[in-house]
Amino acid sequence: METTYNAAQHFESLYASVPRDYEFRVTSREGLQAWQAAFRPKLREALGLDNMESDLAGYVPRAERTESLDMGNHVRESWHLWVEPSVPLPFYLLLPKTIAGNLPLVLAPHGHNHPHLYAGIAHNEKEEEEMLAGERDIARQAAVEEGYIAIAPTTRAFGETRTEAAKRANRTNSCREELVHSMLVGRTPIGERVWDMSRLIDWAIANLPVDAERVAITGNSGGGTVSLFAAACETRIAVAVPSCYFCTFEGSIGTIHHCDCNYVPGLMRLGEMYDVAGLIAPRPFCAIAGRDDGIFPIAQVELAYERLRAIYSVAGVPERCELYIGEGGHRYYKAGAWPFVRRYFG
């Protein structure tokens, strides 16, 4: 009898044996709606959103603008939104120069890089190369090239929301610290970031000329994580375009080294990533992937897409579920994003 422990074999058998309470099995639209109504509250609970809603009941966020710049082809403003009494969340607001009526709103959460890149800001040549080569100036694309109102928020544990120790050490993020502190009080980093997207939507609808029926979310890598989970939990998001994240949990964060912020206790007892994405149906969903992405393998992406497309077929709208594969690695592919968003926003 073999006595040598094989970790990879053990984890594979563990994933295969753990029951998934909300694995998608229904075959009718009515069944889909009932499945979503049962699953979404459990997902929100796992993310810690129920605890946040309870702890922050009655709290009304306030916002403050700190800068407004005319960029020639758009206006870029810097703001803080107090998403919690002790969390002034920085965000960039990008406005087209001409606004006639209410415009679509695009939320562009960033990944494990600098928040300012998404607003089109590069502080040196290296950042400029990273931003342009990876097409990461997503909020600028939305405002300048598409004519939408765009918000590029700081993801918690990045930028100004890092710990003081992370700032002193010049670390890009303090995700591990966010994870351990949030778990101690029944939260998760993903849940806190989803919470922030909802508060930004609240603020934008109340204070900007946005069309509340045309809200999209799109970001790369960690921004894709936020995009997927926010759209699954927040039904006001009309179109979701996560980039370089949609895959399977087992084939990505379950087997390949990823940042600590990706992990939610007990998540795979609820469902796989395609089940979570199924909570977005029938709203339009486009997954963007890089064929050579080493941390979200394309074979697992295609498997997840096949399963998600089946959910959209039950919803009666398979054409609203797409996969765009860019010929490159772990980056944003705007050619896969904006034609899809445009189709639904006009």
CATH code, domain carrying 194? 3.40.50.1820
Q: Is residue 222 part of a domain?
A: yes
Full pLDDT tens readout for the chain, 346 residues: 678 999 999 999 999 999 999 999 999 999 999 999 999 999 999 999 999 999 999 999 999 999 999 999 999 999 999 999 999 999 999 999 988 899 999 999 999 998 999 999 999 999 999 999 999 999 999 999 999 999 999 999 999 999 999 999 999 999 999 999 999 999 999 999 999 999 999 999 999 999 999 999 999 999 999 999 999 999 999 999 999 999 999 999 999 999 999 999 999 999 999 999 999 999 999 999 999 999 999 999 999 999 999 999 999 999 999 999 999 999 999 999 999 999 999 8
Total count of domains within the chain:
1
Terminal CA-CA length for the chain: 64
User: What pLDDT is stored for residue 218 in this prediction?
Assistant: 98
CB of 231 within 8 A of CB of 285? yes
Q: What is the pLDDT of residue 258?
A: 97
Is residue 4 in a domain? no
Domain-located, residue 179:
yes
As beta bridge partners, residue 22 has none
Is 41 part of any domain?
yes
Beta-carbon contacts of residue 336 (< 8 Å; ≥ 6 apart): 241, 243, 286, 288, 324, 325, 326
Domain membership of residue 231 as a residue range: 26-345
- The sign one gets for the Cα dihedral 134, 217, 341, 43 is positive
* The predicted structure's pLDDT at residue 99: 87
> Is residue 72 included in any domain, yes or no?
yes
In this structure, is residue 13 part of a structural domain?
A: no
Contacts of 25 (CB under 8 A, 6+ apart): none
Decide if 16 is inside a domain. Answer: no
In a domain, 5, yes or no: no
**Residue 29 CB partners (closer than 8 Å, separation 6+):** 314, 315, 316
Q: What does the pLDDT read at residue 1? A: 65
